[in-house]
Structure 1
Amino acid sequence: MSYSSVREPNAALAEAAVADALNPHVPRQTLMRRRRERAAWWQMLFLLVFALGPIIIYPLCRLMILSVTGEHGASFAPYARFFGTGDAGGIIRTTLGILVTSAGIASILGVSIAALLHFKPFPGARLLTRFLELFVAFPSFLVAFTLIFLYGTQGSVSIALAQWLHLDVPPLDFLFGRWGVVLAEVVFFAPFVVRPTLASFALLDMRLIEAARSLGANGAMVALRVVLPLAWPGIAAGTILCFLLTLNEFGILLVLGSARLVTLPVAIFSSATVDLDLNAAAAGAVLMLAMSVSLYMLYRQVNQRHVQRTSR
């Protein structure tokens, strides 16, 4: 933001304020409105310079510059180093595979749990809902360690099965790898889908559901033709949020991912800490940033429709 671009709106606002003050025919409401506009401009400038600038704008700009900086100036060599390796295709396929599998299963599970809690309440359903709301505050690596203590080779469940089946080797040996990561991410991210889905279900007109049932529609027809078309904004918002969080997950991958399970976050971390190539790490981070922002914009659009529908 240049000095002239900042000065021109300020000068215009100041001249308008002076003119209004000298003109007795200007309504008081107009004076107050222009003062609020001037105060809002200064507040926005303060946020840009002192709040958003140091912690968001400057790091993002620095990241962009690093991603296109080579040994002799501006260059796309960092992108070539990051994506030009023989494992780049495998890294992207692994990332997308885990993303689609984990977020897809977590979304289906979250919607199913929300439907059970709302349409088939049972003793303890309210307590379970409160627990799921609290569960989203847990760190992701805590879920990974909990699964290790239960289902790892030396976990309590694995040892109990070995003793019960009289085995010399614990039977459960799947946790450190792709399916262990998928299990942990499904457990951790499914509650993020439950809450917005429950909010959508709460807005449903139960008379429509009762009318559909009275006309002979079974449960599947009611769900597909009545509930889903009316509740899809909240379900879509929760699903997109689940995909966004799963894409950026790193703690579970760090704990349960084996050396052969390399995703984009792991590759970026490896480029920065092992290879000490900050430019290549920045190139990978820019790709992840673009994917995350795209999902976030989609989430905002769907969530805005949900909010507009709620406010009606």
Structure 2
Amino acid sequence: MSSLSTPDSAAGTMPGLPGADAHAAAVRRRERRAQWHIAFLLVFVLGPLVVYPLVRLVLLSLSGAHGLSFGAYATFFGNPDSRGVIGTTLWILFLSAGLASILGVALAALLFFKPFPGASLVTRFLELFVAFPSFLVAFTLIFLYGSQGSVSIAIQRMFHLQTPPMDFLFGIGGVVLAEVVFYAPFVVRPTLAAFALLDMRLIEAARSLGANSRMVALRVILPLAWPGIAAGTILCFLLTFNEFGILLVLGSAHLVTLPVAIYSSATVDLDLPTAAAGAVVMLAMSLSLYALYRRVNRRSQGGTRNVN
């Protein structure tokens, strides 16, 4: 009948876009929505909370009596006390983060290769421990090992001592101890993740060929797991470098690090340009460590994908 049409002609008269055009239009709509979301985050979230404060910080460090000036940086780097503060900061950083990294790797190796009853509970506790504020660790050490702490008083009464036997917390000893205790768990988790990716057949093969535990650790485990270990170590250095709470609680007047010096310049001396200059220097060092962490972490994740 002439009133009937073929399927092809009916399809040609159907309203709407073809499938490919509809898909392309949907993709464009999703891209526009994503762009609007990014613009919203930049304008209303990152702008006032991150970008604007950083820009103001840099401009404040460059402010002078007659406009832009590097006088604050000259004052900061020209002051012998500032150079001593940077040296103290780096000394505490390498001592604390180095010991925390060694302890974290050793603890992760013990939990993974020599599991003991309750090892999973210890692992869960370490995961929870990273959520604690750092100053809480400092106060806990004071309550335990301070001159009036419970452990110190117990030892004094046990041995009938005239003075408390422990008096080391308020100084470099207490700061290093608190930072090692607090930041070692930050190394444990990435190291455990790196150990979990190891091919245990290689370890068993090395042992079957007569390699002892030291040779297996240095020649098999460490070369395979080092990206994850390095990522955790760099993260530990980054967090320790930016530590402020422990230093504020346990640091003495003779133990001034860069964060404490910046805080004192801004709140005590009211020298905001010099404090801003120090903050910019610290920010640059922190970003450098973070860039190194991202690079090593990407390499670690690349190794993960290759294994998978």
TM-score between the two structures when normalised by the length of structure 1? 0.90
User: 2:266 maps to what in 1?
Assistant: 272
Give the alignment partner of residue 215 of structure 1, picking from 206, 209, 215.
209
* Separation of aligned partners in 2, 1:98 and 1:276: 26
CA RMSD of aligned residues (A): 1.6
**More displaced stretch, 125-134 vs 72-81:** 72-81
Question: Paired residue for 1:141?
Answer: 135
| Mapped partners of 1:226, 1:159: distance in 2 | 47
Give yes or no for the alignment of 1:106 onto 2:100.
Answer: yes
Which residue identity is paired with 2:64? Answer: G
Match of 2:153 in 1: 159
Kindly state the Cα deviation for residue 72 of structure 1 after the two structures are TM-superposed.
1.4
Task: Please report how far the alpha carbon of residue 212 of structure 1 lies from its aligned counterpart in structure 2 after TM superposition.
Answer: 0.2
- Equivalent residue for 2:294? 300
**Size of the alignment, in residue pairs?**
291
CA deviations 1:172-229 (Å, max 9, x no partner) are 1111001110000000000000001001111111111000000000111100111011
Alignment of 1:184-203 (within 5 A): 184-203=178-197
Counterpart in the other structure of 1:19: none
Residue by residue, what CA displacement relative to the aligned partner does 1:99-138 show, whole Å, maximum 9, x if unpaired? Answer: 0000000000000000000000001101100110010011
The answer on 1:58 being equivalent to 2:52 is yes
Residue of structure 1 equivalent to 2:7: none
Residue of structure 1 equivalent to 2:122: 128
The letter of the residue matching 1:27 is D
Distance 1:267 1:170 in 2: 31
Is 1:254 the counterpart of 2:269 in the alignment? no
CA-to-partner distance for each residue in 1:112-170, whole Å, 9 max, x for gaps? 00000000000110110011001001110010011011111111111122222222111
TM-fit CA distance, 1:35:
2.4
Distance between the aligned counterparts of 2:165 and 2:32, measured in 1? 69
Which of 8, 20, 29 is the aligned partner of 2:23? 29
Which of 48, 70, 78 is matched with 1:84 structurally? 78
- Cα distance, 1:278 vs. partner? 1.1
Q: Distance in 2 between matches of 1:90 and 1:144?
A: 24
Aligned position for 2:231: 237
> Helix, strand or coil: the match of 1:295?
helix
* Structure 1: gaps spanning 5 or more residues: 1-22
Higher mean alpha-carbon deviation, 176-185 vs 80-89, is at 80-89
**TM-score, structure 2 as length reference:** 0.91
Q: What is the DSSP-based 3-state SS (H/G/I as helix, E as strand, rest coil) of the residue aligned with 2:72? A: helix
Is 2:277 aligned against 1:283? Answer: yes
Q: Sequence identity, in percent?
A: 74
Q: Name the amino acid aligned to 2:45.
A: A
CA distance 1:25–1:197, shift in 2 (3 Å): closer
1:78-103 deviations in Å (ceiling 9; x for gaps):
11222322211210110000000000
Asked which structure has the greater CA Rg, the reply is 2
Once residues 85 and 272 of structure 1 are traced to their aligned partners in structure 2, the CA distance between those partners, rounded to angstroms, is 16
Aligned to 2:304: 310
Q: Kindly state the Cα deviation for residue 45 of structure 1 after the two structures are TM-superposed.
A: 1.4
CA-to-aligned-CA distance 1:286-305 (integer Å, 9 cap, x gap): 01100111111111111112
What amino acid is aligned across from residue 262 of structure 1 in structure 2? Answer: V
SS at match of 2:147: coil
